[in-house]
Structure 1
Amino acid sequence: MSLLPRTAEEFSSADYWERFFRKRGEKAFEWYGDYNSLCGVLHKYIKPRDKVLVVGCGNSELSEQLYDVGYRQLTNIDISETVVSHMNQRNAERRPDLSFLQLDATQTGFESGSFQATLDKGTLDAMASEEDGALAGRMLAEVGRVLAVGGRYVCITLAQEHVIKLAVEHFAMGWAVRIHCLSGQQNEESDSSFALPVFVLVCTKFRQAPPFAVLELCQGEDGAPSRLASVEELLSAVKERQAYNLMLHKLRGGTDSSSTPSLTLCNAVSGHPRYTLAVQDSPSSAKTPRSNHFAIFIVPQGRESDWLYGSAEGRAQLASSAKFRRLVIVAMHRDQEYEDMQAVQSELSPVVMELAPPGMPANQQVPFLSVGGDLGWREVIGRGLSALTGEYSVEDVRGEDGHLYRRLIFMNNSQLVQSESRLQSASAASSAPKKKNKKKAKQPALTGAKDRSVDRGFLCCTHHEVMVAGLAMLGMDAINNKDQPVSVLLVGLGGGGLPQFVRDFVPCARVEVVELDPTVLEVAQTWFGFQIDDRLKVTLGDGLEHIKTLESEGGRYFDVIMFDVDSKDTTLGMSCPPPAFVETSLLKKVYSLLSPRGLFMLNLVCRDSALRKSVLDHVHSVFPCVFSRGIEGEVNEVLLCCRSTGEHKPHTIPQTLQQTAKDLQKTLRANSQTGPQIDITAMLNDLKVV
């Protein structure tokens, strides 16, 4: 039998509550919790000697239980004549001093300053939906009037956004505002808990308003208060607690293995993010041991952007290989100090156990998993603000292979590495670096950031390696022709690793980069070893407009045009490039800017199969030959698009490409003492005709 309101508007009407209590009869209704679940926080703020006004008392037993433990100055008011009559009759003999009055909470008629506390359990929530909050506003004004200086308004609420915003904004100036977040309370009409937690709002009346707002949030009834700087921050913190409880409610019923619910745990004192947790369920299997219900995986610092940990596909693969029904993948945040693995486990244990899968046996031991048993290493060496992309961080991290890497991270998408370069110490700069993806290297001793230099012969991104390898499709006669150097136009600079590599290792290559964000150029030059000279130039501006201008002016042609630019719109299903870069009209302009031997290279990152097909259709409508090279373990693929068929048929891979790849490898090595760390043949082995 459901007794909850059908609409929000009903929630605050006197007629609704009359019907509610007539239907309910004598059975007490404990809205948001009973005395046992609330007494801890109530006794903290309301003393037995206080004169207390209970607004919207209903037929709750809370006032009766408070009376029985020594609270003898309780005045209960309610708008329902039925409930007031019933409660007076019920308490006439046992609690003769406990009064119940039929009064409107917006105009009680009591003298100003006549109460030391006002207790509200659900009444604010009921009234806030009426008259766009005006009714609740009048009640709060009346509460403020009848409270004495130093008096407290104690409100038990679900803190829906419109409710808590109204109350906090009402009391923010001139009162101290503190909110306690309690765990979800059991609703006796249901076998399940409320999805939302119960909050206790405590507003203390000052004699004179302080020069600043006093806004605090506490976890649990005894949690230490965290000071918030503004009403917006306090409301945001409340929403975080609600999101956590909603997630717990969802997880109690299990999740689909294709989804990865996530949440952020913040430092209780500072309020800053400390851990991000992703919950990954795996489909049940007969091969999964019955004891493998639940495990926690700690991602090493600096590696949270790795494909295995930072992407939905990677996390699903990690959970599947770990063979647990549920794996919680924990990433640590930059700017937070972590002592050691044991300390992290101790800190997380009380929280993550709430995320256990349904049906896990009691006292089940939950293992903590990690890579190598340590917390990893990260050092933030630079910060800044881009007018176009927002805050960024430049940080050095230790990779799985033991080498140090430098990364550019934009904080609006902190799970994505925007650019990455491998580092070498000054003493090791003259020695040949070890090859990528080989046996784990011995970890080099840490040096200061100033003593670490970028290894310009090492490309961290496989799609960059494919683009360099694709130069073999020009033919060695073109690459080695000093009278007609290879001309390259690249849209998207990043850390500058790709254009710098082409300039350094391809004989006489001339590279022009178009970059929209001046801050990215500054970062590339300051932290990633990028150097402009007569063979490597940068044009600041919109890549689309630059291509249109070049095409309209005419007279300039490029052997290679590369697109390696991210989309800022994360809702499209295609994160690279922005859709405008693959419109047929623009691709035709790219085609017209290519020399007869020219190549167009596109880094495509598209999770939407229909959108990918559309992109390929656009490319095919312009270029006669299109090849694709997928990136293992990633969504990226590189499209290599030929302007002309040359010596090969439009739908076959050139037979001479393997030999040309070997020749290009020799040429690259011949232009460096140490040799670039790239296997051209391997990059072209998996080419497919699109």
Structure 2
Amino acid sequence: MDLLPKSSKEFSSSEYWEQFFRRRGEQAFEWYGGYLELCGLLHKYIKPKDKVLVVGCGNSELSERLYDAGCQNLTNIDVSEVAIRQMNERNAKRRPMMTYQLMDATETTFPESHFQAVLDKGTLDAILPNTEERTLETATKLLVEIGRVLQCGGRYMCVSLAQGHVLDKLVNQFSQGGWMVRVHQVSEGSSNESGSQFPLPVFFFVMTKVRQMPGFPQVLEMMSDKEGAKPLRCSSPDELLEAVKERQHYSLIRNRLNQNQNSQEVSLDLCDGESGRTRYTFYVLDSPTVRSSHANQFAIFIVPQGRETEWLFGSEPGRRQLAGSIGFRRLIIVALHRDQHFESMEAIQTELSAKVLELAPSGLADNQQIPFLSAGGDIGTRTVKFRGRSELSGEFVVEDARGDGTSYFRRLIFLSNQNVVQSEARLLPSSTHRGQKKKKKDKKKQQQPADKEESPSSLIIDKSYLSCEHHKIMISGLALLHNPGVLPDHHISVLVVGLGGGSLSLFIHDYFLGSRVEAIEIDPSVLDVASSWFGFSQDERMKVHLADGLVYINGLAGKEKAVYDVVMFDVDSKDTCVGMSCPPPAFVEKNFLQNVHKILKNNGIFILNLVCRDAVLKRQVMSVIHEVFPLIYAKKIEDEVNEILFCCPNTERKINPTDLMESAKHLEKTLKRPGALWDETYILADMFKSIQIV
């Protein structure tokens, strides 16, 4: 028999409930669970001698079980005459001190401050099925009436699914009145006693009526589901609402994972119970094609600190590749968040063991050993060196992290997008930077192992290293300039739009000794970070303009022409709603590109880092660029969205790929000066493999 209403509006109808209880008969209906699931919380907040009002009691056995447990001063009310008659007949003799009355909870006849506790199991949810004005007015009447009949110090206990509009109404109504608000999670979305299934978990709200005292902080708490753990103390109602919604999100994910194998990656954040800050991010990946056995059903992979931004761990395609290579039906990849302390891999395993089992595939044996895997034998190293805030991009950190092996890197990361490294530089021992071989001064030093790991505090910036593949390709594009044989000492002028940590501009400055480099950076905070933490400095050949690149180039185009041999765009967009993250759309509009053409010498080159996921938008952008620059070489970066465009002002510069690679080889030879560091993994000619004219 289907006993659920046809539409949510029926929940608030007294006619619906009258029909509901007639059809159900005397069988108890335990909305959102029964006594066994709720008794721990009920007896925590209800004292045996308390006068208790139960609103919307229906034919639930909850009051009867409370009565039998010693809480006998119970008054039950409901709008269903059938339910009240049934319950009076059932309890008049067996439980004489408990009463059942036909009454509307929004307009009771009880005197003010008559009860020490009010219990509501699903009633608020029933009368608040939507956000229509009339419905909200009814809900307000209910909550105001509950506040009226409660004594100061009394508690309103509301068992609810806490759907969005109900949650907002409940928390905001009482927090604005100065009440203490405490939230417990009762279940993960199922009721053992009723056998019903809900897609959302059940919550137990406790609103305590208190006298408002000036200067006394309001108590807003999300209680932990671990015994003895401290509650999450929230600073605002919005923070409490967010905490509840996070619990709901987690339960929905569990429900989804328990039902079937998922073709899509599922991600969720797990927060520290006391601070509320994110501690772990889980990425759950199912591989249905893996042949399941007892041994390869489920595993956990811990990403070492500092390596979470690598492609294999920081992108969905990379994580899919990792999951496929490991060979488990379900793999949870765990990223460790910054600003959190992790003692050891063993401590992480202990902390996560219970939580990951909640996300295990159905059918996993109770005694199944869950393997914890990682890249390397420890949890990695990541040290925050500086924390700041940009007016344009928000909070950021500068951190030193250990990569694969013993290499260390310094990174600039904006916390609004923690998986993206804004700028990165490799760190080297200071002795390596001096470019001199160590002399054997004494026997003791001769016996030291050559690969001994150096402390991060003694490392310095390696300016020869380009961490970004697109930076390497952009540098290689200088081989397209005329007379590349003498290019390193040739006097060339370069404009770089977008400074970041300064590695691209510094490389040109340090290896093209005849260059004059100008960089445009709109964010003063970025220039400060580059100068303080990434070894960037200005001199007579290096200058930074703190300006909007659009404004600067437009202004320059109106004054003079043919200023630069090279113009480079390496600037990202702050608008995440556009399908192009680099550059901002205004940088590829025709009028602006025409101004770029004006400031570029006839034999010069315009180099653009294009990151566009929208295929239609990309075709439009390429069409506009072609209108201004007739010859375009394009290099797609493997496993990335980035595509580097080398745009020439005229078609006379057309060079076949073979000659271009030879030119790059010759350029690399001249860049490798004696005594100067060079990254041997960087081969300029390789950057022109699979280059195309588009």
2:453 to 441, 444, 448: 444
Does 2:300 align with 1:293?
Answer: no
Does 2:549 align with 1:540?
Answer: no
CA separation of 1:481 and 1:136: change in aligned 2, threshold 3 A: closer
2:390 to 386, 391, 412: 386
Give CA-to-partner distance per residue, 1:43-77, whole Å, 9 cap, x none: 11112222211011011111112122222111100
CA separation of 1:256 and 1:605: change in aligned 2, threshold 3 A: farther
**Counterpart AA for 2:551:** E
Aligned to 2:445: none
Aligned to 1:600: 606
Relative to structure 2, which stretch is displaced further, 195-204 or 547-556? 547-556
Once the 2 structures are TM-superposed, how far is the Cα of residue 300 of structure 1 from its aligned partner?
0.7
1:554 to 545, 560, 567: 560
Aligned to 1:495: 501
Q: Is the 8 A contact 2:605 2:647 kept in 1?
A: yes
CA distance in 1, matches of 2:578, 2:366: 43
Once the 2 structures are TM-superposed, how far is the Cα of residue 527 of structure 1 from its aligned partner?
0.8
CA distance in 1, matches of 2:601, 2:207: 73
Once the 2 structures are TM-superposed, how far is the Cα of residue 594 of structure 1 from its aligned partner?
2.0
Aligned to 2:590: 584
CA separation of 1:671 and 1:617: change in aligned 2, threshold 3 A: farther
2:252 to 231, 246, 254: 246
- Secondary structure of the corresponding residue to residue 252 of structure 1: helix
CA separation of 1:108 and 1:489: change in aligned 2, threshold 3 A: same
1:541-690 maps to which residues of 2 (within 5 A)? 541-646=547-652, 648=654, 652-653=656-657, 655-670=658-673, 673-675=676-678, 677=680, 678-690=682-694
**Counterpart AA for 1:135:** T
* Structure 2 stretches lacking a partner, 5+ long: 438-449
CA distance in 2, matches of 1:547, 1:431: 39
1:468-479 maps to which residues of 2 (within 5 A)? 468-477=475-484, 479=486
Does 2:170 align with 1:167?
Answer: yes
CA distance in 1, matches of 2:252, 2:91: 39
2:418 to 406, 414, 417: 414
Does 2:35 align with 1:35?
Answer: yes
**Counterpart AA for 1:100:** Y
* Structure 1 stretches lacking a partner, 5+ long: 434-440
Does 2:23 align with 1:23?
Answer: yes
CA separation of 1:501 and 1:208: change in aligned 2, threshold 3 A: closer
Once the 2 structures are TM-superposed, how far is the Cα of residue 161 of structure 1 from its aligned partner?
2.5
CA distance in 2, matches of 1:284, 1:39: 45
CA distance in 2, matches of 1:160, 1:432: 67
Once the 2 structures are TM-superposed, how far is the Cα of residue 81 of structure 1 from its aligned partner?
1.5
2:137 to 105, 115, 134: 134
1:427-442 maps to which residues of 2 (within 5 A)? 427-431=431-435, 442=451
CA distance in 1, matches of 2:196, 2:83: 27
1:463 to 451, 462, 470: 470
Aligned to 2:491: 485
Normalised by the length of structure 1, the TM-score is: 0.93
Q: Is the 8 A contact 2:465 2:678 kept in 1?
A: no
Once the 2 structures are TM-superposed, how far is the Cα of residue 328 of structure 1 from its aligned partner?
1.0
Once the 2 structures are TM-superposed, how far is the Cα of residue 458 of structure 1 from its aligned partner?
0.9
CA separation of 1:601 and 1:362: change in aligned 2, threshold 3 A: same
Q: Is the 8 A contact 1:154 1:201 kept in 2?
A: yes
Once the 2 structures are TM-superposed, how far is the Cα of residue 463 of structure 1 from its aligned partner?
0.9
Q: Is the 8 A contact 1:21 1:82 kept in 2?
A: yes
Aligned to 2:231: 225
Aligned to 2:276: 271
CA distance in 2, matches of 1:629, 1:255: 38
Q: Is the 8 A contact 2:414 2:422 kept in 1?
A: yes
CA distance in 2, matches of 1:475, 1:642: 12
Give CA-to-partner distance per residue, 1:405-459, whole Å, 9 cap, x none: 10000011111100000112333321379xxxxxxx94622142xx432111111
1:519-538 maps to which residues of 2 (within 5 A)? 519-538=525-544
CA distance in 1, matches of 2:273, 2:31: 29
CA distance in 2, matches of 1:101, 1:61: 16
Give CA-to-partner distance per residue, 1:497-553, whole Å, 9 cap, x none: 000110110131111111111111111111111111121111122212222222222
Q: Percent identity of the aligned residues?
A: 51
CA distance in 1, matches of 2:636, 2:355: 40
1:374 to 374, 378, 381: 378
Give CA-to-partner distance per residue, 1:561-583, whole Å, 9 cap, x none: 11111122223332222222223
CA separation of 1:199 and 1:422: change in aligned 2, threshold 3 A: same
CA distance in 1, matches of 2:236, 2:643: 46
Give CA-to-partner distance per residue, 1:206-242, whole Å, 9 cap, x none: 3554621111111338453221111111111111111
Aligned length: 675
CA distance in 1, matches of 2:19, 2:546: 70
CA distance in 2, matches of 1:623, 1:381: 43
Does 2:403 align with 1:399?
Answer: yes
**Counterpart AA for 2:146:** V
Runs of 4+ residues over 6 Å off in structure 1: 188-192
CA separation of 1:432 and 1:56: change in aligned 2, threshold 3 A: farther
**Counterpart AA for 1:493:** L
What's the RMSD between the two structures over aligned residues?
A: 2.4
Q: Is the 8 A contact 1:181 1:221 kept in 2?
A: no
CA distance in 1, matches of 2:436, 2:98: 87
CA distance in 1, matches of 2:644, 2:288: 32
Q: Is the 8 A contact 2:34 2:194 kept in 1?
A: no
Once the 2 structures are TM-superposed, how far is the Cα of residue 136 of structure 1 from its aligned partner?
2.0
2:241 to 235, 240, 244: 235
CA distance in 1, matches of 2:257, 2:369: 19
CA distance in 1, matches of 2:560, 2:2: 74
**Counterpart AA for 2:518:** E
Give CA-to-partner distance per residue, 1:612-645, whole Å, 9 cap, x none: 3333333333333322222233222212222233
Once the 2 structures are TM-superposed, how far is the Cα of residue 83 of structure 1 from its aligned partner?
1.3
Aligned to 1:438: none
Give CA-to-partner distance per residue, 1:124-143, whole Å, 9 cap, x none: 22233462522222222222
Does 2:83 align with 1:79?
Answer: no
Once the 2 structures are TM-superposed, how far is the Cα of residue 672 of structure 1 from its aligned partner?
5.5
- Secondary structure of the corresponding residue to residue 628 of structure 2: coil
Normalised by the length of structure 2, the TM-score is: 0.92
CA distance in 2, matches of 1:221, 1:141: 33
